[in-house]
Chain A
Amino acid sequence: MLDSFIPSWAELLRFMPEIILSLVGSLLVMLEPVTGPKSKSMLGHVAIAGLIVALGATFVAHANPGAAFSSMIVVDGFATFFRVIVFTVGILTIFSSYQYLDREGSNRGEYYALILFSVVGQSVMVVANELIMIFIGLEISSIATYVLAGFLRDDKRNNESAIKYFLLGSFATGFLLYGIALIYGATGTTDLGEVRQAVLQSAEPPVLLLSVAAGLMFIGLGFKVSGAPFQMWTPDVYQGAPTPVTAFMSAGPKAAAFAIFLRIFVTVFESVGDRWEPLIWASALASMTIGNFAALQQKNFKRLLAYSSIAHAGYVLVALTARSEIGTASAMFYLAAYALMNMGAFAVIAHVAGKGETTVDVSDFAGLGAKQPVTAALLTIFMLSLIGVPLTGGFFGKFYIFKAALESKLLWLAILGLLNSAVAAYYYLRVLVVMYMEEPSARTENLEPMPMSLQAALWLPAAGVLFLGIFPSAVLEFASASARLLGQ
């Protein structure tokens, strides 16, 4: 029995990215007190290096797929796909943070450590093959993110953001835990594969308990992905948090939460699929509608993107409603594209925001096209991708999702979703109109040039968005292959 407690090298290898990031994160905390106030950015570089090594380890792990630690985690294509997303998001977040933190006078080592810890949590979530692991990952990620949301502790909006996120987040997590408990109660195990087997082999599956559990977990996960009707925290928290952190929240934790959403709902709850499908259907439609319509009237760019992130969660929920391989694959592709385009858009906001984030209204972006044409062109790419214009990743993401919906006979959801994305075009385009066609604002008149780090935070996602838009095939096929394995 003892042998099974000592992990083999192969198992450690499969968990190596998380190990690396945890070590680097701890190292950062230890280095922080001995680093001079001027060289805190060095700690950021260390964090980026750690993330890059972790990315490399991800690919090594992917070459040796399989389960580890008594099947608590599993490295499969699905896990690798999301690991790459969350690590990339981590790298981009740090790139877009240097200038911001310097400007706010808060460039401190624990910021980078917290980002790494949060990424570790997300990474644990996406490799977890077991409900308790999922919960632990979720909590690691969430707690670090709660702190990050209130990182500028003298800033009132940061405080409001953090406390709202924390209170509602823990409340929602409670529901998730309750759902996990019910699944355990119904099947006697928390291992996803065993739960699935237990349900499939049972002569009389505990439908009631499973559907209540699905409902409770939907509340918990719905909150994390900002799906309606649990979207309410999103605008307040996104607006209040430091912009790079907002970018991070909207991409990393969201992708990871969707990953476990997919893993749990397409494996464990597939047998009660008929029961939760209407629920996700309604949530998808409500998320798209609430998000898109509320965004129409927003003047604050961060708040606008917050609502848009609700709408985008709705699109991904459409993919989940499809309950098919192609549905899963389309959700994966979409999340990858969304993470890139959103990170890019927020990086531009972080640049324009100014000290104390006084200039984050859409109108503050007026004249950006004339003053910093390259920045404006990159933001245009992100906006077009968010609309879903061809040759950007956003287009194929959306296309793939609605195709999945139609193949699953969700005609109305697909049509309402497409109408929604036509409404959405209005508010993204308005940004372009302001940026290119209006006289420069006081802010863009005196905009400082963009530092190298921030340029990296813009160019990388822009290249990614265009790559996904022009040569989507490789990523799409990887997602499809992973989705096929997941459903087995």
Chain B
Amino acid sequence: MIHAAVLSGFVLAVFAPAIQRRWPKAGSWMLSLLPFGLAVLFASHIGEEPVRESTAWIPALGADLAFRLDGLGLVFALIISAVGAFVLIYAGGYLKGHRHLGRIQCFLLLFMASMLGVVLADNLVALFVFWELTSVTSYLLIGFDHEREKSRAAALQALLVTGFGGVAMLAGALLLQQITGTLSIEGVLGQGETIRAHALYVPALLLILLGAFTKSAQFPFHFWLPNAMEAPTPVSAYLHSATMVKAGIYLMARLSPALGGTDWWFGLLVTGGAVTMLAGAVLAFGKSDLKQILAYSTVSALGMLTFVLGIGGEAGARAAVVLLIAHSLYKGALFMAAGAVDHEAGTRMIEDLGGLRGAMPVTAAAALGAAVSMAGLPPLFGFIAKELFYEAAEVHPVLLACAVATGILTVGAAGLVAIRPFFGRAVQTLKHAHEAPSSLWLGPAALAAGGIVFGLFSGTAAGGLVAGAASSVAGIPVTAELGLLHGINLTLLLSAFTAVAGVALYASADRIRPLLRPVVGSLAWGPAGWYDALLASMMRFATFQTRLLQNGLLPHYLRVTLGMAILLIGVALVRGTGPPQKNLLTDVRLHEAVVGILILAGAFSSVRATSRLAAITSLGVVALGLAMTFVLFGAPDLAMTQFLVETLTVILLVLVIYKLPAYTQKSSDRTRLRDAIVSVIAGSLFTVLVLGVTSMQLAPEISDYYIENSEKLAHGRNIVNVILVDFRGLDTLGEITVLSIAAVGVYALLKLRPHKEEPS
């Protein structure tokens, strides 16, 4: 059943463009039936026992296509399918008549299916596969409006940052497998004790958090999210508020029973979350573009989620789940409302907007409903979320102070997005605004209504859902008795204070926001700055390294190869027994020494020669010396061959010498000195090596066999002859044949020569 639920999105995605083309008006409504159906299906599971389904995929790797639907997965799956349905409808209205509407619907469905895969997968590899698919589809969706340079850059940035995090997460998952021996998430969760006590715990935790922090836009990786607002609004509403950015949160929540509860976990998550939520809230309040305000307030909300997950325990788990649901409801609604405003009024800058409530009453009401939830005012679901948020933060006064500060700033930002454009003095907008079509207001209205229903009837509507999810997060059964009233306590007092301070902040927004501008500038571009700096330094390193290693000169390449050989042999010799201990000079006879000196002199003069002829002659001397050595040590046949080959070589060289360009000295003295050093070292090492080999007892069998058998079997005393014509007779025949064919070839080439080459 879960397999079908996840995979159906992929299948429908393939047909989406065709459906959209066939029914341009109703297409998106029809497409939305699938996510609606899925949402109903998931909703029917609330309160039931977890279900697990598994199909073998790659047994060798321990990677199964396993899915598990439990409380946490259910919450996410519901958000993904329900918001997905509204976003599909919304996109149909927002991009009406766009030539690529079908394609964007296809991408949205692909994304939805991948995202369902992420939150339902019960195998770390399967999870990673879906995780990367969300990154890729998000890249396609952000880069959708690709005529704009900024859009392209943003798409690439988002993919690079999240892709980098994904890779880190995969490494972390593999480490977890090293620790636990399984890739099944259920299996990993069952071994929390082992994992936390293991030496690889900290590396694994850091890598997984790197994945989660980049995906969920935590400081200092948050910069990609606001930049990704280049995407069309339906995409921002879906990916960048309700779902994809919460994948990192999902991962942390999912693994918290196994990885959580340690000092590392607490320190990293609480610090990261606190910085993110405060910085996000300040930036949101300082921005003027509606989508940017929403983007930064999303960053802030993600920070809150990380923060409460870091605190952990029952309170943390409960707060995380409720914040998550509330945020998806109100932020999705606000993004869609902002898009509707942009669509109808032609601008998203709050300075240019005002008094739209008359023209767009439904949108205004939806936005207001969502904003009240965002501000955390009763009786909306956001209020309960904020109460639980404060309650979780009560573990330490400093944390509580951070939480309240974030709460106040959030109230201010909520005012900016929902009060400023719709209420107050009407402003002349770019386009003459009127109410958006139903496809554009249905989504925000439904989601905002959800916030009200969940708030008023929290016990019945959300209790079971929250309890199940919070139990998954905490790893122990958690109850959730949600309600608007809990009596007078600290959190209620703080809520009241937040509301008052927040309203005051909003009232004085025009005075405070200009003051924030320098802060906004530095905070916003600081981390994006490190991204740019990192890219730039990567590029600098690339250039430097390429210049150093890749100058295109053959001698340089040869030098490196030879240098490596010297290094390897040298190291091996030093680490081994050292060069062979043998007195080498005892039995040298005079004529041997003379030949040796001759060879050396020849070699020396060939490199010092100033003309080509002299160089060739000197080389000839070296060769003759070698041949003499063969003679002296009893290998006349080898000497003969050497003589012949050398003579032939010298003749050939002399033949072509007049065709060659003038002889010039191309290398400087320094290069020559360096080359001399390299060659002397290389030569010496190889000499040592040869000596080492000769001092060893080689396997004697082969020569013995021929010595013994040449007369007995082949009736010949000259062993070399016997080998050539008898033992290896067939080889010789083959050689002769090849040589003859080669000779025929050469003859043919010589005959061809007089012809002028035909122009081809």
Contacts and interface: CB of A to CB of B under 8 A. Distances in A.
Interface of A: 105-106, 164, 167-168, 171-172, 175, 181-182, 184-189, 206-209, 211-212, 215-216, 218-219, 223, 229-230, 232-233, 235-236, 275, 279, 290, 293-297, 384, 387, 389-391, 395-396, 399-400, 402-403, 406-407, 411, 414-415, 418-419, 421-423, 425-426, 429-430, 433, 436-437, 472-473, 476-477, 480
A422 B143 CA distance: 20
B114 to A, nearest CB: 10
B467 to A, nearest CB: 34
Which residue among B535, B552, B576 has the maximum number of chain A CB atoms within 10 Å of its CB? B576
B568 A389 contact: no
Which 7 pairs from chain A and chain B are nearest by CB?
Answer: A188-B699, A215-B568, A208-B576, A390-B129, A437-B146, A296-B542, A422-B164
Contacts of B552: 236
Interface of B: 57-61, 125, 128-130, 132-133, 136, 143, 146-147, 152, 155-156, 159-160, 163-164, 167-168, 170-171, 174-175, 177-178, 200, 203, 207, 535, 538-539, 541-543, 545-546, 549-550, 552, 554, 556-558, 560-561, 564-565, 568-569, 571-573, 575-577, 689, 692-693, 696, 698-699, 701, 760
Contact of A391 (B133, B147, B170, B538): B133
Contacts of A211: 572, 575-576
B561 A230 contact: yes
B131 to A, nearest CB: 8
Which residue among A223, A235, A433 has the maximum number of chain B CB atoms within 10 Å of its CB? A433
B170 A399 contact: yes
A43 B684 CA distance: 52
Given A209-B696, A390-B132, A175 B550 contact: no
A206 B696 contact: yes
B203 A411 contact: yes
A403 B63 CA distance: 12
A437 B693 contact: no
Given A182-B689, A185-B696, A294-B542, 6 more contacts: A215-B572, A293-B542, A294-B545, A390-B129, A415-B203, A423-B538
A433 B163 contact: no
B698 A175 contact: no
Contacts of B698: 185, 188
A396 B58 contact: yes
B560 A188 contact: no
Contacts of B557: 164, 168, 232-233
B168 A418 contact: yes
Contacts of B164: 422, 425
A476 B565 contact: no
Contacts of A186: 696
Contacts of B541: 293
Given A208-B692, A216-B568, A389-B132, A472 B543 contact: no
Contacts of B554: 164, 167-168
A293 B545 contact: yes
Contacts of A399: 61, 125, 170
Nearest to B145: A437
A216 B152 CA distance: 48
Contacts of A182: 689, 693
B699 A290 contact: no
B692 A476 contact: no
Contacts of B159: 425, 429
B304 to A, nearest CB: 28
Contact of B59 (A181, A212, A279, A473): A473
B565 A219 contact: yes
Nearest to B571: A215
B569 A406 contact: no
A157 B690 CA distance: 39
A437 B143 contact: yes
A419 B164 CA distance: 7
A167 B571 CA distance: 27
Contacts of B546: 293-294, 297
Contacts of A400: 61
Contacts of A216: 565, 568-569
B758 to A, nearest CB: 11
B61 A436 contact: no
A330 B572 CA distance: 29
Given A296-B542, A389-B136, A476-B60, A232 B565 contact: no
Contact of A436 (B146, B556, B558, B699): B146
A396 B170 CA distance: 12
Contact of B178 (A105, A235, A406): A406
Nearest to B562: A171
Contact of B171 (A275, A389, A415): A415
Contacts of B560: 229-230, 232
A172 B560 CA distance: 12
A164 B203 CA distance: 45
Nearest to A389: B132
A49 to B, nearest CB: 26
Given A294-B542, A402-B171, A425 B160 contact: yes
A296 B539 contact: yes
Given A188-B698, A473-B58, A218 B568 contact: yes
A185 B702 CA distance: 13
A188 B572 contact: no
Contact of A390 (B128, B561, B575): B128
Contact of B174 (A167, A232, A406, A422): A406
Contacts of A187: 699
A418 B169 CA distance: 10
A219 B575 contact: no
Contacts of A168: 554, 557-558, 561
Nearest to A105: B760
B164 to A, nearest CB: 4
Which residue among B565, B571, B692 has the maximum number of chain A CB atoms within 10 Å of its CB? B565
Contacts of A235: 550
A223 B61 CA distance: 32
A418 B167 contact: yes
B561 A171 contact: yes
A13 B594 CA distance: 57
A396 B164 CA distance: 17
Contacts of A175: 561, 565
Nearest to A326: B60
A36 to B, nearest CB: 15
A290 B568 contact: no
Contacts of B549: 232, 290, 294
B58 A429 contact: no
Contacts of B693: 181-182, 185, 209
Contacts of A425: 159-160, 163-164
Given A296-B542, A297-B546, A390-B128, A403 B569 contact: no
Contacts of B58: 396, 472-473, 476
A309 B572 CA distance: 29
Contacts of A218: 568
Contacts of B696: 185-186, 206, 209
Contacts of A290: 545, 549
Contacts of B577: 208
A182 B688 CA distance: 13
Given A188-B699, A229-B560, A473 B60 contact: yes
Contact of A215 (B132, B569, B701): B569
18 contacts: A106-B760, A175-B561, A185-B698, A189-B699, A207-B576, A208-B692, A212-B572, A215-B572, A219-B568, A235-B550, A294-B546, A391-B133, A399-B61, A400-B61, A418-B167, A422-B160, A429-B160, A473-B57
A215 B685 CA distance: 13
A472 B692 CA distance: 49
Contacts of A387: 163
A418 B576 CA distance: 35
B125 A406 contact: no
Given A215-B569, A290-B545, A433-B152, A403 B61 contact: yes
Contacts of B550: 232, 235, 294
